[in-house]
Structures are given as structure tokens and as C-alpha cells.
Amino acid sequence: MRRYARIIGTGSYLPPRRLTNNDLAAELAQRGIETSDEWIVERTGIRARHFAAPDVTSSDLALQACRQAIEAAGVSAQDIDLIIVATSTPDMVFPSTAAILQHKLGIANGCPAFDVQAVCSGFVYALSVADAMIQTGAAKRALVVGAEVFSRILDFNDRTTCVLFGDGAGAVVLEASEAPGILAAELHADGSHVGILCVPGHVSGGNVLGDPLLKMDGQAVFKLAVGVLDKAARATLDKAGLTEADIDWLIPHQANIRIMQSTARKLKLSMDKVVVTVDQHGNTSAASIPLALDHGVRSGQVKPGQTVLLEGVGGGFTWGAVLFKM
């Protein structure tokens, strides 16, 4: 009998500091940078985002989301035997944010804990890895997290990028099950596009070499994202033997409402079937999909038994999709 990985609990956390577009515009004006609520909403659909306090790390945000997910799953932290954190803003160069999170959760059972770095596709990648490990019997109950403090790597002199991103964390608990859970997944990357979305800096000899702030060619990202997301979605549906008509909910990476609308159109889905949080969260990179999933579950939109398609695209260039029964 096939062994599935099934989501049994979701959780999320946003840092308390919420900035509306007007709040951010006022702060940028002090730097001589001009923007407005109208300009941001028209181009992105974003109205607000959350920024973490200077002393708050990705693992701190992840901890709160994980506690929610573990409680929702009705299990104990000690029942977790695999931890995967998707992040592009780790607490340290090493050890992994997952290992730090393991300690903060008080999990002392020696389970594997590691990070996945696929930027905004990170949660889809991490979920696929956890699914594979559960299917093979390497794990029984996994904690999969997306956590980011992107506010730390933004160039606040570049209004085309600094208005887009926010901080937050989302998590799910996966459990081995005979009942259908994750049905199919599709992952891809193309390193030839590394330059269109990157943070081209690194640490060497105690110094930061290169530029440690985010760079993005927005038009190039938009053009590439729309095409690859559609292909990944269709390939995932094909693997599961399903069609667009079988999708109850689409939960895409929350980067830009226009990308999300275009993806929905290509899949012949009404926006009523798309969970949208980009307006209130901004782009939280690897955290955006699990944040949106938890919002959908807790708002009563996403219900048990429904078929959900997740899809993400990010720097690398990476992209992928996961289809599952809730």
C-alpha cells in the first residue's frame, strides 16, 4: 500500500510591526525616495507588510509558527522526527536555522534538521523533500517551515524592490498516512538566470564581499515566472492524473497580484479559488506559501478533503509545484 505524507497541522507568524504603503512611503521620503500607496498597489497589489525588530531572527519567527502548527496537529514537539527550514535569511552562516529551531523547540531526540535554500520556491522544495523522506520511511512526522527576515537585505534606496518584501514564517506538520496526502510534485531550476534576482554578496575574511542587498530585474522575473509556473502546475497535475477542474484551491507564491492573476487565467481558475495574502503580507519569500496556506485553513476557506495546488518561483532561478489533498 502506498505511503503518503499528509498535512495534519498548519501555523504562521507575522512580526508585530506592520507598515502600510503610506507608512513606508513616509519613511522613504526621509531618504529622498518618492513612492505612494497608489504606485505600489497598481504594480503589485501590496498594501502592507510586516518587518521584524532588529534583534529578531528567522528562527524566532519560525518558532512561533511551528508552535501553532504542532498544536493544530495535536502532537508534541518530541513526536517530530524531521525538521526542514526553507530560508534565504538564516540566523547564521552555520549552523542551520533548522538546528537552532530544533533547540528552541526543545526537541532532543536527535532527529535530522537542515535548511533548504531555493529562495521563494523554498517551501515547495522543502515540502517535496519531506514528502520523499516520509514515503521512503526515513521519517514519520516532519516539521516543514518557511521563515524569512527579508527586511535585512533590502536596499531602501531602491523603490522598485524595497516596497515588495516583508518578514514572516509559516509551518506545517506532515505525517505518514495511508490516506492520500501529497499527490505529486515538480521541481526545477535554471542557474543561467541567476542575475535577474539575487543578493550578490558573501562573507570572506571577516568582511562582506560584493553587495549584500537584493537586486532584481522585475520585468525579466515577471516574464519568466508566468511561463514556468503554468508548466510546473500542468506537469504536477499530469503526474497525479488530474486536471485544472480538480483544483479546489490554488495557493501561489505571494509575490505580485498580476503574476497570480495570470497564472490563474492560464489554469482556467477564478480568482475566487486563489488564496491571496500578498496585499497584507507583501512578498515573504519562502514564508509566503505556508503563511497563505495557514490563512486559508484558519479562515475556513481551505477545508479537509479539498485538493490544493501550491506553486512557487524564485531566485536561482527556481520554480516548482506541489499538489495535495488537505
Q: Which residues are catalytic?
A: 120, 253, 283
Largest Cα–Cα distance of the chain, in whole Å? 63
The DSSP letter of residue 245 is G
Strand duo 17-20 + 48-51: pairing: antiparallel
User: DSSP labels for 97-166?
Assistant: HHHHHHHHTT--S---EEEE--GGGHHHHHHHHHHHHHHHTS-SEEEEEEEEEGGGG--TT-HHHHTTB-
The cell numbers describing 86, all together, are 526553507
Distance, CA of 235 to CA of 129 (rounded, Å) = 18
Q: Which of 326, 286, 293, 67 is nearest to 276 (CA)?
A: 293
Amino acid at 7: I
User: What is the rounded CA–CA span in Å between residue 118 and residue 254?
Assistant: 15
Nearest partner of 169 among 112, 81, 98, judged by Cα: 98
Cell numbers 507568524 correspond to 13
Helices of type H across 2-84? 21-29, 37-44, 58-73
Read off the amino acid at residue 140: K
